[in-house]
Amino acid sequence: MNWKYFIPHIWEEGLTTWEDIFLLPDSPEYKDDAVWLTIDALGDVDDPESMGIPLEAIAYRLDKLGDKDYWIEEGDMIVRTEAFDKPEFLQWVRVWMEATGLQVDELIEAPIEDFLGRCAQADFIHMLLQRHGGESPD
């Protein structure tokens, strides 16, 4: 199955230590809410402040990961990497989807409008964009 996605932040070139994503099956029959997933990178355990991650967050993430490459609890995921770029982030999204039993053939970037009425966060972001004359990031 193909899935549409929307990343609610403007992705700056380079690396980040966390990101959100909204997901919807690319199917007109699907009428339920979108999935909201947050993925956090472990960060640099030798220099956590270099990426702006407090020591407590590193300790929490290490505790959750144990000796695994990733940890999942519902819509939250921690991955054992210092940071990720957009392609790596999308690969971790696939890992989450497969680990939670969702079949994914392709991830297709979609506009925020595809998520309206199906994701409260998308509705809120869209309302702010409309109120302040902005456009949704693509």
pLDDT digits (tens, 9 = 90+) for 104-118: 999 999 999 999 999
Provide the pLDDT for residue 135. 56
pTM (predicted TM-score): 0.87
- pLDDT bucket at 53, cuts 50 / 70 / 90: confident
pLDDT digits (tens, 9 = 90+) for 41-50: 998 888 877 7
Sequence-ordered list of residues with C-beta below 8 angstroms from that of 122, at least 6 positions apart, any chain: 6, 8, 22, 34, 112, 115, 116
